[in-house]
Amino acid sequence: MTESTIELIDPTPEQRHQWQSLVDRIVEAQDEYYGRDAPTLSDAEYDQLMRDLIALEEALPGLRTPDSPTQRVGQAVRNEFPPVTHPERMLSLDNVFSESELMDWVARAQRTVADAGREVTRWLCELKIDGLACDLVYQDGRLVSGATRGDGRVGEDITPNVRAIKAIPQRLRGANVPPLVEVRGEVFFPVADFEGLNASLVEAGKAPFANARNAAAGSLRQKDPQVTASRPLSMICHGLGVHDGVDVTVQSGAYELMAGWGLPTSPYYKVVGTPAEIAEYVTWVGQHRHDPSILHELDGVVVKVDDLDDQAILGTTSRAPRWAIAYKFPPEEVNTELLDIKVGVGRTGRITPFAVMTPVRVAGSTVARATLHNAFEVKRKGVRIGDIVVLRKAGDVIPEVVGPVVELREGRETREFVMPTNCPVCGAELRPEKEDDKDIRCPNSEHCPAQATERLAALGARGALDIEALGYEAAAALTNPVEGTPVLSNEAGLFDLKAEDLAHVMVQRQNKDGETTLEPFFFTKGDGKKRSEPTATALQMLREIDVAKDRPLWRVLNALSIRHVGPVAARALAARFGSMDAIRAASVEELTQTDGVGAVIAQSLSEWFEVPWHANIVERWAAAGVRMAEDVAPVGEQPLAGLTLVVTGTLTGFSRDGATEAITSRGGKASSSVSKATSYVVVGENPGSKAAKAEEMGVPILDEAQFQALLDGGPDALAS
C-alpha cells in the first residue's frame, strides 16, 4: 500500500490524547531503560504499549509524526558520557509475537524478493540476546571506539569501559583485517553470575538490579572503568556497520570473518533453507533457552535474510531493517505488587516466608505466590512489602521473586518484612536447630497442627502411600479444624479412622453472597428430611487408606516424614534391612553401610525412632495392619546385588515405578542414565536414546522377558 492510497481520517481530540499519553509513557520508559538503566515497566508491559501505539497509528496514520517512538531507534543520549556519532546508523528490529506473525513476515519477504526476480534460499536464524547494543570501531585492526546505541545515530562514548571487557579484543587478528570496520553486537551479563552480583550489591547497602540486562547496562555505563572491569561482562557480535575492504556476500559470512578476527560470535546461529526449518529452529530455542551452555539471557529468535543482495532489495524503514525480524517469546518476567510476606510451616517445622502477590500471568500460568526460602533470602533480594517486584518464571521452573523495582518505591508505602518469633499456628517459640542455621523451625513437632497437616498431606502423596483422596484440604480438615478437637492430633491414628469419626469435621466455606459458613467436610449437609452421611470422596479416602496398608515397606518408611529420608534412601534401607524392626534396631554405623545412606540420614533416622511419639506411630500403624516388612529376601540373598540397571521405553508388565521397585527390592540399583557402570539396559517399547547409547557402549540389552528372568533368578538365569 502506498501513502496516496491511505485515506487519512482526522483523529478526534480523544484519539490525539490517547496517542500522546501512549507516546509519553513509552518515552518515559525509554528514558528509564536506556538512560538510567532502571526500568519501571517490564519488557512485556513496554512491548504492549508499543503494540498499542503501532495499532493506533495504523488505524489513524494522521497521528504518526516523524519523532513518534514507532519511527525512531532507542533514545537520545544523556550527557553523562561524551556523544559519538556512529559511522553508520544503528537500527533496531521489528518484533513479532507469534509463529503465524513470523510466517507472515517470511512470506512478505519472499514476495518482495520474488518481485525483483530472485528467491530467498538462505535464512539466518539466531538467538535474540537480552543485553545492551554496542558499537565497536576498529581502525587498522585496533579498537578505537566503543559506544552505546543511543538514538541510532549518536551514542555514548564508553570506550574505556568497553576496553575493560575481556571478550572484546583490543586488536583484530589474521591476515585479512580491513582498514576500517564497525562491529555491532550485544554486551551481556552472564546469567550464572547475576544472582551473585545482586547479593553483593545488597550486602554493600546498594540497590540490586532487576534483571541481567539491567546489570549489563549498569555495569557498562560506569564512570569508573575499573567497576566495569570487575564485572564478568561478555559480548556476542551480530552485525557489521561500515566495512572497508571486507569481502562478504552473506550475513553468515560476516560472522565467520568476525570469528576469524578473534571477535566473539554466537555458536548458536544456523542458516536454513525453508520456513519449516525456521519454525524448527524457533521450537529448538524455546526448548533450550535455559540450557546452562547458553551463557546469556535470551528473549526470542532473530531471523535474517542471509544474502546481502536480497537484504538490499528488502531495504530498511526509519527504525529497522525489513530483512530481519525478532520473534519474541512470551514474557518470563513481569512486574507485580508484593502484597504481603507470610510464613508457612513445613512438615518438619521449617518456617518458610513466601510472597503473596497480585496474581499475574507469566510464562503461561497465573502466579500469586512464590517461596522466599528464609529471612536471609528476603534480605538478600532486598524486597519490602508493598514493593513492585520482578517476578520470573523461567520455563517450567518454579516462580521466583527476582527483586524489587527500586525506582518505583517513591510514593508507595513499603515496609520491611520481620520474621515472626513464634509459630503462626501453634504459638511455639521459633528457633534455629543449630546456631548457624539459616532456617528457623517450630520445635513443637508433636502438637503443632500445621506440621501434622503437612505430614499427613505428604503421606498421601503419590511417592509415599498414594492415598489420592487425602489431599492437603482433607489433611487440614483432619488435623487443624476450625472448631472442636482435631480427629487426628498426628498421623498415628490414620489407619484406625472410621466413617463416624469424620461426621463432625467442619470447615469454613464462602457461599455465593461472600458470607462465611461452617460446613461438614467429609459428610453431606443433611436437613430435616435428608440424613447427613459420608460423602463419596470420604468413603473413597477410607477405602484408599485401607489399601495403603499393603504398600511396600519403603513407601511406609518414606511416609513417616523422617528428616533427610527421601524415597531413594527409603528404598535402599527397605531393600537392605527388609523390615521396620531391623531398621529401628540398626546402629548408625550399620545404617550407613546402606548404599546412598550417609551419616546425616543415618543419624536422623536413629534419633527419630528414639522419640516416644514417633515410636507410637509405628506401633499403631503396625497394630492396624500396615506392612512393616518386605516380602523379599533380606541382605545376602538378593539376586540383583551389585547390579545397576537402566530401564528405557514402556514395559507391558511394569510401570516405571514398578520396575524400579522390582530392581531395588532385589538389591539392585536403578539408574536413569547409561554409563560404564551400567550392568544391563532393559528396553521396552518406544525406547529413547538410551538404547542406542547402550549399544554404542556395548552394555548388554535385555527385553522384558529377559528382565523378568533376571529378577527371578539373577544373572545366572540369563546364562541358561
Task: Decide: is 488 part of the binding site for ligand IVH (CB under 6 A).
Answer: no
User: Which one of 38, 41, 324, 502 is in contact with ligand IVH (CB under 6 A)?
Assistant: 324
Of 183 and 302, the one with the shorter C-beta distance to ligand IVH is 302
Name the minimum Å distance from CB 402 to ligand IVH.
Answer: 21
Name the minimum Å distance from CB 330 to ligand IVH.
Answer: 16
Region 218-247 residues binding ligand IVH, contact defined as CB under 6 A: 238-239
Region 631-690 residues binding ligand IVH, contact defined as CB under 6 A: none
With residue 456 as reference, give the H or E element that holds it: helix 449-460
Q: Which of 395, 396, 133 is nearest to 289 (CA)?
A: 395
Assign residue 568 a region (left: φ > 0; alpha: ψ between -120 and 50; beta: otherwise). Answer: alpha
CA torsion sign for 255, 256, 260, 262 is positive
Region 326-365 residues binding ligand IVH, contact defined as CB under 6 A: 326
Segment lying near ligand IVH (by CB under 6 A), choices 86-94, 225-233, 447-455, 678-686? 86-94
Distance separating alpha carbons of residues 636 and 593, to the nearest angstrom: 14
Name the minimum Å distance from CB 103 to ligand IVH.
Answer: 19
Residue 93-112 contact track with ligand IVH, rule CB under 6 A, x = bound: x-------------------
Size of the site for ligand IVH (CB under 6 A): 14
Distance separating alpha carbons of residues 542 and 460, to the nearest angstrom: 12
Segment lying near ligand IVH (by CB under 6 A), choices 187-195, 319-327, 335-343, 522-530? 319-327
Strand partners, 420: none
Name the minimum Å distance from CB 417 to ligand IVH.
Answer: 36
User: Which one of 146, 190, 232, 321 is in contact with ligand IVH (CB under 6 A)?
Assistant: 321
Distance separating alpha carbons of residues 145 and 183, to the nearest angstrom: 10
User: Which one of 96, 129, 467, 682 is in contact with ligand IVH (CB under 6 A)?
Assistant: 129
The letter for the amino acid at 464 is A
Name the minimum Å distance from CB 37 to ligand IVH.
Answer: 15
Of 133 and 645, the one with the shorter C-beta distance to ligand IVH is 133
Supply the Cα-derived Rg of the chain in whole angstroms: 32
Q: How many helices (H) and strands (E) does the chain have?
A: 23, 22
Task: Name the 3-class secondary structure at 225.
Answer: helix
CA torsion sign for 169, 171, 172, 175 is negative
Task: Decide: is 294 part of the binding site for ligand IVH (CB under 6 A).
Answer: no
Of 213 and 347, the one with the shorter C-beta distance to ligand IVH is 213
User: Which one of 84, 109, 282, 302 is in contact with ligand IVH (CB under 6 A)?
Assistant: 302
Of 330 and 386, the one with the shorter C-beta distance to ligand IVH is 330
Task: Decide: is 168 part of the binding site for ligand IVH (CB under 6 A).
Answer: no
Of 93 and 476, the one with the shorter C-beta distance to ligand IVH is 93
Task: Decide: is 43 part of the binding site for ligand IVH (CB under 6 A).
Answer: no
Q: Which cell goes with 196?
A: 551473585
Of 145 and 558, the one with the shorter C-beta distance to ligand IVH is 145
Q: Is 174 exposed, middle or buried (0-12, 13-18, 19+ CB in 10 A)?
A: exposed
Distance separating alpha carbons of residues 280 and 302, to the nearest angstrom: 13
Q: Which cell goes with 313?
A: 532489495
Catalytic positions, written as ranges: 128
User: Which one of 113, 133, 313, 691 is in contact with ligand IVH (CB under 6 A)?
Assistant: 133
Of 135 and 630, the one with the shorter C-beta distance to ligand IVH is 135
Task: Decide: is 152 part of the binding site for ligand IVH (CB under 6 A).
Answer: no
Assign residue 37 a region (left: φ > 0; alpha: ψ between -120 and 50; beta: otherwise). Answer: left
Write down the H helix ranges in 461-535: 472-479
Q: Which cell goes with 536?
A: 463419596
Q: Which cell goes with 273?
A: 533453507
Segment lying near ligand IVH (by CB under 6 A), choices 61-69, 252-260, 318-326, 562-570? 318-326
Task: Name the 3-class secondary structure at 18.
Answer: helix
Task: Decide: is 183 part of the binding site for ligand IVH (CB under 6 A).
Answer: no
Of 33 and 523, the one with the shorter C-beta distance to ligand IVH is 33
Task: Decide: is 91 part of the binding site for ligand IVH (CB under 6 A).
Answer: yes
What angle separates helix 472-479 from helix 449-460, to the nearest 10 degrees? Answer: 140
Distance separating alpha carbons of residues 309 and 120, to the nearest angstrom: 10
Alpha-carbon torsion angle 321, 245, 188, 328, nearest 10: 20
Q: In the complex, which residues of this chain contact ligand IVH (CB under 6 A)?
A: 91-93, 126, 128-129, 133, 186, 238-239, 302, 321, 324, 326
